[in-house]
Amino acid sequence: MKLLYTILTTTLFSLAVFANPNTTTQSSPKKFIILGDSLTEGYGVAQSAAFPALLQKKVEQDKLNWKIISSGSSGSTSASGLQRIKWIAKSKPDMVLVLLGSNDGLRGLKPEETEKNLNDTVEWAKQNNIEVSLGQLHVPPNYGKDYEKKFSAVYAKVAAKNKIQLAPFLLDKVAGQKDLNLADGIHPNEKGHQIVADNLYPFVKKLISK
């Protein structure tokens, strides 16, 4: 009887875990790493006020057993993607969201080069069985229509080529808004990061709730 009870309990528990992999009853949460630049690093705001930390709060509110980890590095370009995904792979992430390329755009690098770098990063992740997705980025309008168009198109191309999910533009409703950015006019302030988290969370939630 005791044995039967044990088997039954174990089976039911296993079924429950299978039914909802994100349940809080799991002891060790899965890792969702955001690989990005100064936006991800939360340049100018406390780490606890940057959007990865705010996403983590939302995940906890929804009782999803995931840990959102920020891996942002100010000034980094897409060229650092491959090296850095190899670094974070050591911590065995379950999912990685690549948010690189803003600095490529701001420095006027060739969109073809950015595309190649992002492809290399995504391909390596896939080859190493890391579930990866990509975040859409844009350059400010002052870079000119042609460049803006070519640059923005890179993300859709990489996503399509690698058959991965493309997150919406994280600075939507934030870019260019004086009240939502720091004095440098580029990096979001605390309020801006809150909106960035709101912009991204539906996408993240969908990914981790699969």
- Closest contact distance (angstroms) between CB of 91 and another protein is 7
Contact 24, 143 (CB under 8 A): no
Please give the C-alpha separations between residue 36 and each of 130, 131, 168, in angstroms, as whole numbers. 16, 16, 15
Separation CA 177–CA 196 (nearest Å):
13
- Closest contact distance (angstroms) between CB of 27 and another protein is 21
- The nearer residue to another protein, 20 or 124, going by C-beta atoms, is 124
- Site residues (CB under 8 A) for another protein, limited to 42-81: 42-49, 69-80
- Site residues (CB under 8 A) for another protein, limited to 121-160: 140-147
Give the strand pairing for 66-72 and 95-99: unpaired
Find the catalytic residue in 37, 38, 102, 104. 38
Residues 6+ apart with CB under 8 A from 89: 125, 128, 130
Active site residue 138: no
- The nearer residue to another protein, 20 or 94, going by C-beta atoms, is 94
Active site residue 38: yes
Active site residue 120: no
- Closest contact distance (angstroms) between CB of 193 and another protein is 10
Query: Kind and range of the H or E element at 30?
Result: strand 30-36
Q: What is the DSSP string of 63-107?
A: T--EEEEEEE-TT--GGGHHHHHHHHHTT--SEEEEE--HHHHHT
Reduced to 3 states (helix: H, G, I; strand: E, B; else coil), residue 32 is: strand
The closest alpha carbon to 100, from 66, 127, 135, belongs to 135
Residue 168 touching another protein (CB under 8 A):
no
- Closest contact distance (angstroms) between CB of 164 and another protein is 21
Residue 89 touching another protein (CB under 8 A):
no
- Enumerate binding residues for another protein (CB under 8 A): 33, 38, 41-49, 69-80, 82-84, 87-88, 91, 104, 106-110, 113, 117, 140-147, 175-176, 178, 182-186, 189-191
Active site residues: 38, 184, 187
